[in-house]
Chain A
Amino acid sequence: MEKKRYSKRTILQLGRYLFHYKWLLAAALACTLGSNLFALIGPRLTGYAIGAIEPGKGAVDFERVFYYAGWMVVFYVASAAMSYGLQVLMITISRKVVYKMRQDVFEKLLTLPVGYFDIHQTGDIISRISYDIDTVNASLSNDLVQILTTIITVVGALGMMVSISPKLVLVFAFTVPLSICLTKFITGKTRPLFRKRSAKLGELNGFVEEMITGQKSLNAYGREAYTIGRCDKRNKEAVDAYYRAEYYGSIVGPTVNFVNNLSLSLISVFGALLYLAGGMTIGDISSFVLYSRKFSGPINEFANIMSELQSALAAAERVFRLLEEEPESADLPEAAVLEEVKGDVSVEHVRFGYLPGKTIIHDLSFAAHPGRLIAIVGPTGAGKTTLINLLMRFYDPESGRILVDGQDARKVTRKSLRKSYAMVLQDTWLFTGTIYENLSYGKEDATMEDVVNAAKAARIHSFIKRLPQGYDTVLTDEGTNISKGQKQLLTIARAMLLNTRMLILDEATSNVDTRTEIEIQKAMRKLMEDKTCFVIAHRLSTIRNADLILVVNDGEVVEQGTHRELMDKDGMYRKLYQAQFE
């Protein structure tokens, strides 16, 4: 029951997409009507023509034969022209829908909290935005027309047959319920199977992606055979789910034919009997047979369409479920735009946990005045990365608040808040594009000169210059042409280019060797003038110049002060500092 409501909702959501193009759809409807009605007239004319031939040898009424043949040509050509028009319309509509769906999914992805991507496999997400939407669209462009065609043809053909011989139509009183039963049976069986098929394939794809990404590690431990074994298991499941869905899905075609053939047999027998009883002509039987093909064809085709719709609905469900994910909470309606930020940040009694009931920051307070360098140190897992998530509002605190220039961060727009920070993260991220594009990423109006200056400050300019295409060198996916450290330098240069009042460095220097780091520090120091900086690093030499050092342990600031103050205190900081010489 639950499932049923779910599909209903999915259909409604799909309908909403289609409704955007109601005029195109109306045109398509008109074409469907026209092309099918014209095609429906064909068999009747055939019947008349055969009726004109029926008298037999020497008695054929050629005038009438040619007359009807002429009209047949007219109607068939008109019908074909309209059916081409219909296809063009449907392709146009389905492309527009697909375009919109992909765009919606993509835009949705960018609004989701960052945590979503930590728990969902990239492969599975990609599976939704590509295969699933493709499946939905294939079904839209074919099945929708099919359904319309079916309705028109069935109604039209039934009308025609009733006008030829109401008695013979009774045959369908038997075959139509039969085909409805069969259809119900098949769709009932296949619905969950198709859903499972999609899910299993998504699972396999996610697994494959993870394993290929981590191939080097697997290789180093000789775990190839083991991994292949695990892949085999998922492969088997995916293939089996596919087979089980096909097992019932493949009944459809032959069943369609069966009901077709059954109708034809019954019509032949009863038609022949009626003919003997004088109730029908051969021409009538001929028309009737053609109409019955048209009639039972689509009705049974309906079963076929239903099975395609099943897999389309399963796919649509996955797409819509993603679209229904809870996004980052919206900005408050009265949210202000942070402007001319001075960089005065204060954190007041913040309490936070990623999962409800699992608090990892209990009570955090500190103040960072404009232009200060705040260093955050502490043992691993003490909650330092979490702090950045809160500063940038990737997550909101459970209680307490963070003020920027005296304004509650939750009461300003996310965009303006984030724009006021520059950030260099532990994971370097560069996209496929030129070095220039990557560097100017945060600042579209940057001139080449700005970019070069930033690169020079980050000590990566000479490396870039040595590349054959210089700043126009295209960085590729895997970035095999560039080392991890160089990537890091590029992201530092990118951050340098941003003209913000606040800077966040998350262990950003840990991949740069100390010699380079010293030089970067000098440049950074210059860049950091008048900026509020939050540096999270383990290297104590990096943070000795800090105006304020926060020693974080178990989510709480256990010590605050300058290097010298903290060394004098003989507390946790001193212990951490000394450990490097053990």
Chain B
Amino acid sequence: MKEIILRYVQPYFPQMTIGFVIKFIGTIMDLCIPYILAHIIDNIIPLGERRLILLWGVLMIFCSVLAVSFNIIANRKASKVASDVTEVVRHDLFSRIMYLSHRQTDQFTKPSLISRMTSDTYNLHQMIGRIQRLGVRAPILLIGGIFITFTLDTAMAMVLVAVLPLLALIMVYVSKRSIPMYSGLQEATDRFVRLVREDIAGVRVIKALSKTDYETGKFRKINQEVVSRERKTGMVMAVINPSMNILLNLGLVCVIIVGAVRVQNGTGEVGKILAFTTYFTIILNAMMSISKMFEILSKSIASGNRIWQIISAPEDMGVLKEETAPESGHVEGEESGALGALSDDSYEIVFDHVTFSYLPQKEPNVNDISFRIRKGETLGIIGEIGSGKTTIINLLMRMYDADQGRVLVEGKDVRAYEPRDLKAKFGVVFQNDTIFEDSIAGNVTLGREMNDQQIQEALLYARASEFVEGRDGKEAEALNIKGANLSGGQKQRVLIARALAMKPAILILDDSSSALDYRTDAALRKGIKEHFQDTTLVIVAQRISSIRHADHILVLEDGNMIGYGTHEELMKTCEIYREIGKSQMGEGMPEENREVAG
């Protein structure tokens, strides 16, 4: 929280200072009014001059006008500062989230990132606005009020001051109890939101299994917990107002008694007792504002810390300096044995004894992977679930850094690239890739600069034109969230168009034709081969038919390379591959297959 203030609020200190000065003047004006009242009663009335009374009355109204104008100006300034600060904080937070490494995103979890970006920044916004408004006014009213009462009558003021420590005691007690209650409440609320989010995602399953009653029950439980925590917290906070009221009012009674004694002795004046009663109200309100501030603060400090945690998250995937990633692959070549000269520029992709695990100190997810692909060649990757296919893609695109070994693209270590330059080489469709709520064209470009013709071509080669043409809005047709108004196959084709659009050097399709029928899949691959001859292709698939024509096929099992070669070679040498082939082509290769294959 401290860091947020230093970094984001500090630049606004000059502006805030101006606001504070204005607010200060306005508040002092507010304080002057009861003072004038006491003056009229004690000093002017005895003179019996109506003209003077009217004059002082006009002065009071003048003070009121000044007070209202200055306070409004100051409040608006405060709102402006709060909005400006929030805008910058949100920007920085969102930017940091966008650039978090995947390891970090895994760690923080996406729902948590979303709630930091939404509810926590909102809390911060409210806090900055309110603290500026209350933060100046309340203390000034409090201190100013006490100060003025002292100038009016020291003895009576002492009574008032004696009450304040008691008030402070109550406030400390309440905030001490409420802060942990608030964080407990926040946790319960997080769980509450998580359940709603989850159920929205799974609404089809819930309905299909008729589990609405069960989910309602689950929700009831968490709802009850949140509500009971809210209630308990509220009960603690509810102590503040009545106890403050009672303390100050009892103080007021004491003031009257002390005042009576003072007047009796001739050391006090009646008008002053009167003014005192007004100042009491002002001080009471100021105290209430301060206690409200504590409430806001305790809520937003937690939020501020959660925001800062993300903004200050360290950059964990830096760019390697050239000298630490030597290009002289010939030296390395000796170690890498059969692979020979690794950094040969003619190889588009090189994996050199790569080992990686998502969780540190756990069994590696991919183990000692080595292969080399030339420009324009096709690599097929096949293997069981969890065998590490997607992990290879993640490492190739530097979503994660390898624990051991190196990944080279165009002869250069991926860690030595500027992230932008590296990413520019790829076109990729992930498993479960995202369609955004945007037009079809918007989903293809993702905001990259390209003209209409490029979009059309991408849609054509991705075999998406056929259905896009059938849509009312053509490529301008709006897509729903997660592409809900597209079928699985249509989604995949839009995603492939996105990948093809910039004519990438390396095209990666991670199990991205699973929802396409064989015919579309085959036509798609054929089209890519024809129109993207220089593009190196990496296809992760479960169907052998999708990769059988690849120049190299990598067979994975439990993160290990158990086969590497062409379809024909692997059919001879790799038992697992042969087994997969059999299961997909059918045991006895029925006649109709032979007919076609032949």
Contacts and interface: CB of A to CB of B under 8 A. Distances in A.
Contact of A102 (B223, B486, B542): B223
Given A421-B208, A513-B580, A575-B519, A98 B114 contact: no
Interface string A34-67: 0000000011001001101110111110100110
Contacts of A20: none
B518 A579 contact: yes
B147 interface: no
A118 B480 contact: yes
B210 interface: yes
B54 A269 contact: yes
A237 to B, nearest CB: 10
A547 interface: no
B2 interface: no
Interface stretch (A11-19, A122-130, A344-352, A403-411): A122-130
Interface string A236-279: 10011011001100110111011001101110110011011000
- For chain B, the bracket of interface size reads 35 or more
A423 interface: yes
B207 A394 contact: yes
Contact of B434 (A99, A121, A213, A232): A213
A118 B481 contact: yes
Contact of A275 (B45, B241, B358, B519): B45
B430 A220 contact: yes
A365 interface: no
Task: Name the residue among B195, B211, B446, B597 with the largest chain A CB count within 10 angstroms.
Answer: B446
Interface stretch (B150-158, B163-171, B175-183, B263-271): B263-271
Contacts of B193: 126, 130
B216 A477 contact: no
Given A425-B205, A512-B385, A121 B481 contact: yes
Interface in A58-108: 58-60, 62, 65-66, 69, 72-73, 76-77, 79-81, 83-84, 87-88, 91-92, 95-96, 98-99, 102-103, 106-107
A114 B224 CA distance: 27
Interface in A265-321: 265-266, 268-269, 272-273, 275-276, 282, 285-286, 289-290, 293
B201 A478 contact: no
B238 interface: yes
B306 interface: no
A208 B208 contact: no
Contacts of B106: 478, 480
Contact of B64 (A103, A109, A216, A265): A265
A175 B133 CA distance: 25
Contact of A243 (B79, B214, B216): B79
A235 B33 contact: no
B162 interface: no
A124 to B, nearest CB: 10
B533 interface: no
Interface stretch (B4-12, B117-125, B405-413): B117-125
A218 B446 contact: yes
A250 B490 contact: no
A429 interface: yes
Contacts of A222: 419-420, 423-424
A141 B233 CA distance: 13
B242 A87 contact: yes
Nearest to A377: B517
B430 A57 contact: no
Contacts of A210: 436-437, 481
B110 to A, nearest CB: 5
A23 interface: no
Interface-centre pick from B200, B382, B485 (highest chain A CB count, 10 A): B200
A431 B198 contact: yes
B263 A219 contact: no
B484 A118 contact: yes
B151 to A, nearest CB: 19
A353 B207 CA distance: 21
B245 A79 contact: yes
B111 A477 contact: yes
A220 B423 contact: yes
A334 interface: no
A208 B94 contact: yes
B433 A217 contact: yes
Interface stretch (A162-170, A449-457, A483-491, A524-532): A483-491
A432 interface: yes
Contacts of A477: 109-111, 194, 198
Contacts of B34: 264
Interface centre among B99, B385, B576 (most CB of A within 10 A): B385
Interface residues on A, range: 35 or more
Contacts of A49: 256, 260
A83 B245 contact: yes
B287 interface: no
A242 B125 contact: yes
A371 interface: no
Given A131-B122, A214-B434, A286 B277 contact: yes
Interface in B34-64: 34, 36-37, 40-41, 44-45, 48, 50, 53-54, 56-57, 60-61, 63-64
A272 B212 contact: no
Which of B100, B467, B596, B597: most chain A Cβ within 10 A? B596
Interface in A369-423: 377-381, 384-385, 392, 394, 414-415, 418-419, 421, 423
B119 to A, nearest CB: 7
Given A250-B75, A510-B514, A119 B484 contact: yes
Contacts of A447: none
A398 to B, nearest CB: 18
Contacts of B523: 579
A582 B543 CA distance: 13
Interface-central residue, B399, B431, B542, by most chain A CB under 10 Å = B542
B384 interface: yes
B230 A258 contact: no
B251 to A, nearest CB: 10
A173 interface: no
A42 B34 CA distance: 19
Contacts of A98: 227, 230
Contact of A212 (B114, B219, B271): B114
Interface in B196-222: 196-212, 214-216, 219-220
A478 B220 CA distance: 24
Contact of B79 (A123, A250, A262, A579): A250
Contacts of B383: 513
A224 B61 contact: no
Interface in B547-588: 576, 579-580, 583-584, 586
B252 interface: yes
Interface string B390-403: 00000001010000
A110 B270 contact: no
Given A87-B238, A423-B208, A576-B518, A50 B273 contact: yes
Contacts of A220: 397, 399, 423, 426, 428, 430
A119 B245 contact: no
Contacts of B91: 228, 231-232, 235
Interface string B447-463: 11000000000000000
A391 B13 CA distance: 64
B476 interface: no
A578 B595 CA distance: 10
A458 interface: no
B210 A80 contact: no
13 contacts: A87-B241, A95-B234, A98-B230, A126-B200, A130-B119, A217-B433, A229-B447, A269-B54, A282-B41, A378-B517, A514-B583, A567-B592, A579-B521
Given A212-B97, A507-B514, 12 more contacts: A69-B256, A84-B241, A208-B94, A208-B117, A219-B102, A246-B75, A246-B82, A257-B30, A423-B205, A426-B488, A538-B515, A541-B583
8 tightest Cβ-Cβ pairs between the two chains A and B = A380-B489, A485-B385, A214-B434, A118-B484, A269-B57, A579-B519, A254-B71, A265-B60
